[in-house]
Amino acid sequence: MKPQKKLNIRACRIFLIPFLLLLASFWLGGCSSEQQAKEDVPLVRTLTIKSDEGNKKSVYPGEVCGRNETQLAFQVGGRIIKRNVETGQMVGPGDIIMEIDTRDLQQGVVTIETQLKSAETDLQLAEENLKRYKALFESKVISKADLDALQSARDTAEARQQQIQECFLTSKWGDPKILILLSARW
C-alpha cells in the first residue's frame, strides 16, 4: 500500500502546484492599480475649428421648385393621348396642353342613352298600370292605398325619366362633367 500512497501524493503535487500558481497569478493580477487608473481617465473627443477661406462652396439639401407653378386638373377623366407642351415650356390662357381619349366619354353617352330608354319604358309601364288600377278602383276591387302607391310609382318614374333626359342633353351637347356626375349617381 505504501507505493500506491506515494503515487497518489506525487500525482497530487503535480496537479496541485500548477493550480496554486495559476490561482495566485490571477489574484495578484486583479489587484494591480493600472486598471483603476484606466477607468478614471475620461474619454473626450476634441476638434479644432479652423476657418477655411479657400473653399467657399456651400452645399444645402433641398428641392428646387418653380416660382410660379400651376396645378393641372381636367374636368373629365381619361387617358392622355397627346401632349402638346413639354415640361418647363411657357403656356398662355387657352393653349391646349393635352388631349384626352374620348372613348370613355362616348361610352358614357351611350350608357346615358340606354338609361334614358329604360326610364321611358318604366314610365310607360307605370302609366299603363295606373290606368288599369284606376278602373279596378272605380269598380271597388282595390283599395285607395294601392292606387296611391301606383300613382307614386308613376310620379317617381316620370321624375327619373326627366332627370336622365336633362343629363343626356347636357352630356351630348354641353358640359361633359355632368356625365361623370351622372355615372357616379347611377
CA torsion 74-80-83-89 (nearest 10°) is: 40
Interhelix angle 144-173/177-185, nearest 10 degrees: 150
What is the reported pLDDT for 121? 93
Tell whether 77 is covered by a domain.
no
Domain that includes residue 148, residue range: 105-185
**Domain count of the fold of the chain:** 1
Q: Please tell me the distance from the alpha carbon of residue 6 to that of residue 16, in angstroms, as a whole number.
A: 15
- Confidence class of residue 178 from pLDDT cuts 50, 70 and 90? very low
- Spatial CB neighbours of 171, under 8 Å, sequence gap ≥ 6: 105, 108, 109, 112, 178, 179, 182
Look at residue 88 and tell me if it is in a domain: no
pLDDT tens for each residue of 120-163: 999 999 999 999 999 998 998 889 998 899 999 999 999 999 99
The CATH number linked to 133 is 1.10.287.470
Evaluate whether residue 169 is within a structural domain.
yes
Cβ-based neighbour number of residue 5 at 10 Å: 9
Higher pLDDT, 169 or 35: 169
Specify if 180 maps to a domain.
yes
The residues, ordered by sequence, that sit 6+ positions from 75 with a Cβ below 8 Å of its Cβ are 175, 176, 177
d(CA 40, CA 33): 11
| Domain annotation covers residue 59 | no
Q: pTM (2 decimals)? A: 0.44
CA 5/CA 41 separation, integer angstroms: 56
Burial class (CB in 10 A: 0-12, 13-18, 19+), 182: buried
Q: C-alpha cell of 67?
A: 416660382
Spatial CA neighbour of 168 closest among 95, 123, 118: 118
Does some domain include residue 123?
yes
**pLDDT tens digits along 3-23:** 555 656 776 677 777 788 877
Mark out the alpha helices in the chain (DSSP H runs). 2-30, 34-40, 103-138, 144-173, 177-185
Structural domain includes residue 129? yes
Task: Return the residue matching grid coordinates 416660382.
Answer: 67
pLDDT tens string 91-102:
888 888 888 887
Assigned domain for 91 exists: no
E-only strand ranges, the chain: 80-83, 98-100
What's the CA gap between 94 and 31, in Å, rounded? 91
Least confident stretch, 29-33, 41-45, 82-86, 176-180: 176-180
Q: Could you tell me how far CA 57 lies from the centroid of its own chain?
A: 40
Q: What value does the mean pLDDT of the chain take?
A: 76
